[in-house]
Chain A
Amino acid sequence: MPVRVAESSAPSQVSGANSGQTTPPACTLLSVGQAFSGTQNVSSSQKDEAWKVNVCIQGCDLEHGYLCGTMEALNVPMADTPVVTFWEGEIVDTKNYTFFTGKWEAKPEDDIRHWIKFPSFAPLLSQVEVDGGKSLDLSNCPYIFMRWKEQYFVNVGTDCGLTIAGFYYVCFSCSDGSINGFYYDPNSSPFQKLELKSTNEGRFSFSSYELQ
């Protein structure tokens, strides 16, 4: 979801890939076509504010630790229509990506500061501090940790007064499909919280496509 422009800064491009051991399992609630809705808290020192957010998963390639989709912010004050962005996700699978971001102006201490806000991360902390979690076995972990980075605005121009310079630290619960996230951009309010729930609740439906 875009946030208000404060000051623009280009993210550095350093590879975060590394070889690892055991990857998180596939989860039907995090498959293509799955939708989520909730809010992002964009409060600042001046006022409390939360924007409604819808997310839809549009691509998933577990082998490459890749996920992508769209994020729609519904009641953005300075926009006439809902603002839709396309994002790409890095799944922390210890094979393609570790808990250390290694780019987007996020240092390991920034990473830890954000990951630790997820209670499910606590058991992993000590190992992550050592090696970014490279040697962790995540195959039985009921949570999937990711980074979501918005790539472009789908329905508005870049001159819309919003920025997508930052990225989200995300924790997905495989049990109920709930998503929690924290937006990180050194130039925006810290720890903007994203809270989403699966829109499927009680009526689980799954569609699929097949690329050739």
Chain B
Amino acid sequence: MPTSASASPSATASASASSIAIAAGRNHSDLHARLISSDGEVQLKALRELKNRIIGNRTKKLLYIKLGLVPAVADIVASKAETIADHESSLLVQSAAVLGSFACGFDVGVRAVLDAGVFPYLFRLLSHPDEKVVDAGARSLRMIYQSKLAPKYDFLQDKNMDFLVSLLNCENENVTGLGASIIIHSCKSVAEQRALCRAGVLKKLISLLDGSLSQRDASLESLAAIIKNNVEAVSKFVESESTRALSSVIELTKDRYPRTRLLACICLIVIRNTSPCYLQDIGIKTKLVYLLLELHDDPGQVGDEASFAFSSLIAEKEDLQKLAFEANAIDKLYNHLQKGVLHPKRFQGILLALADLCSKLENCRSKFLSLKALNLVTNALNHDSSDVRAAACICLRSVSRSIKNLCAGHFMNEMIVFPLVQLLDDPCTSVQVAALSALGNIVIDFTTHRSAFVQCGGMKQLVQLTKSMDSTVRSNALRALRNLVFLAEKVCKEGIFLELTASSLASLVSDPEPFVQEQALGLIRNLVDGCMNSVEFIFSEDRIILDAVGRQLRNASKAEIGKQGMYVLNNVARGNELHKEAVMHQLIPQTDNGMQSFMIKFLQSNDGQLRTAAVWTVVNLTFPSSPGAFDRLVRLSNAGVVSQIESMANDPCLDVKLRVRTALGQFRTFGIGST
């Protein structure tokens, strides 16, 4: 009967579960008792049993960590580290192996081993007379150093550097491997890179390139750590022993082992990214592109890491993106994306690689869109992993740089915009920032779909995020709003202004962060552009925004802030007489405190674009048909602005020169200025 048939297995399952739990508890107390036994043979047997149980089994590792077995094993190492008896050696070998196994690829295990205080004792094992003990200690420490949780090694202390060099000079492969792992883990600063080069580590690592498989891999990875972003170290490496080192690395890109090929590629990418003068040959560049694309086929860790290496090869480099495009990189990466459920790291890597490919070249974006890859990327916006969600946003950000597709309204649809708007609430800030940057591009929609974005709550969310504690979020939210109001209709601008309010916009102009100020000014510039009524936005709440802009321009430290602020004033200056006078008030305050107008400073700036913005403002203020133009021109002349503009008749920047010509022509209609 169905009823009784279903009840029976369930009851059996429940009984088995409790018996397993009881058995685990019994096993634990039994194992624990045996680990702390005074009989070495009993301990040894318990260690072997424990090692066999936990190898490659995270669940078991976690169970035994929770049951407190790690400190018991650590005690064996601590108590026997200095002994040299044969049977004690076996205990040390087995207990070090168990600790290494707990730490292998499992941060909770690493934490437990470190918390047990056994880390210094494991180092002591490296001086043990028994080679097997040394080997087991080195293996165990290597496992720990593969985790970010391992304590940072201080290379800058002489004794530590001597010890590291002794590790690298050791005959034992695991000990040299440990030396390399320490470098990979802890070498981060230029000072550390220099210290390692001075100590001859570079030379030693180069010699290990001819060693065993594990030595080659360890050497390649630590070499990359030492030369990364360090021009001096790169030239030392490349020029060492008549470029033999570089040839060896290039040769290793053909190795039969995928991991070695990947590490050799990464090493070459680090060299090229640090010192672009090396590896300029198109052959090697093409080879790296093909190799890394091929390595994506590896089903394991190498395949997962290949996309990240590929990204670092092509990021910001148009020539390499072009090569990758010609190598059908987009099709190949898209094919991987289509392979059903991917490991989150691989998924993230492929999305970021596609983002880099589509970051500059329109033909890459067209290819991407023609493959319908967009659907896969938008699905990834809802992925469980925050890294994948952020990568999907970054990919959308790159693809949406296509003005051609923005104009066609290809991104402003609910499939893309709704999940992106939802991600503005993501608990993870990096996802929030990435979603904001993608939306910032997408809202530059030249069709009439902006209202859809406003209706789905996107605009309100953006306004909310301008109040974030995180300055990057504030800046990105302002950029998105700035883009949203670019050439927008009055009604759209009014909605945003009402939500944002004049007072918050004024305080964003005075934000402590210059990059936030710049975006706030850019937003105001676009708000007051367009129909003449738009100028009025800046006069609400007793001109609070205009005053903030003026204050910011008087104190502007960056040309970019000057440019945006100056264009705000310029766009207001094209308005009616009241508008023009309000701008004059900012340029030449009534109370003359002897300070030179910022206008003169901007006209004398080294930045041609800033000079252009300043001259345009004068052109708008002195347009001959405006009733107050003459009076304003006199005041500008008294403030030294006219003579400054006269001196710019041969400005090296053509745009400035042509605007100066227009301004001088207007001055002459009033008989002001030299003829």
Contact = CB atoms under 8 A, between A and B. Distances in A.
A112 to B, nearest CB: 26
Interface string B126-168: 0000000000000000000000000000000000000000000
- Ranked nearest first, the 9 interchain pairs of A and B with the lowest CB-CB distance are A59-B403, A203-B574, A207-B529, A25-B654, A209-B486, A212-B437, A209-B483, A207-B526, A205-B571
Given A28-B616, A205-B574, A174 B567 contact: no
Interface in B512-558: 519, 522, 525-526, 529-530
B612 interface: yes
Contacts of B668: none
Contacts of A206: 525, 529, 567, 570-571, 613, 616
Given A56-B487, A70-B446, A86 B571 contact: no
A56 to B, nearest CB: 7
Interface string B637-664: 0000000000000000111001101100
Interface of A: 25-28, 32-33, 56, 58-59, 66, 68, 70, 86, 88, 139-140, 142, 151-152, 154, 174-175, 202-212
A142 B479 contact: no
Nearest to A60: B403
A32 B479 CA distance: 16
Contacts of B408: 86, 152, 154
Given A142-B654, A207-B486, A211-B441, A68 B574 contact: no
A212 B616 contact: no
Interface string B432-460: 00000100110010110000000000000
Contact of B574 (A25, A151, A204): A204
A33 B530 CA distance: 9
B625 interface: yes
A208 B437 contact: no
A179 to B, nearest CB: 16
A207 B525 contact: yes
Interface string B607-641: 00100110010011001010000000000000000
Contacts, number: 105
A57 to B, nearest CB: 10
A209 B447 CA distance: 15
Interface of B: 362, 397, 401, 403-404, 407-408, 437, 440-441, 444, 446-447, 476, 479, 482-483, 486-487, 519, 522, 525-526, 529-530, 567, 570-571, 574-575, 609, 612-613, 616, 619-620, 623, 625, 653-655, 658-659, 661-662
30 contacts: A26-B609, A26-B655, A27-B655, A28-B612, A28-B616, A56-B487, A58-B403, A59-B403, A66-B362, A68-B407, A88-B404, A140-B654, A142-B654, A151-B404, A175-B662, A203-B574, A203-B620, A204-B574, A205-B529, A205-B574, A206-B571, A207-B486, A207-B487, A208-B486, A208-B567, A210-B479, A210-B482, A210-B522, A211-B444, A212-B401
A27 B616 CA distance: 12
Contacts of B655: 25-28, 174
A87 to B, nearest CB: 10
B482 A204 contact: no
A60 to B, nearest CB: 9
B486 A33 contact: yes
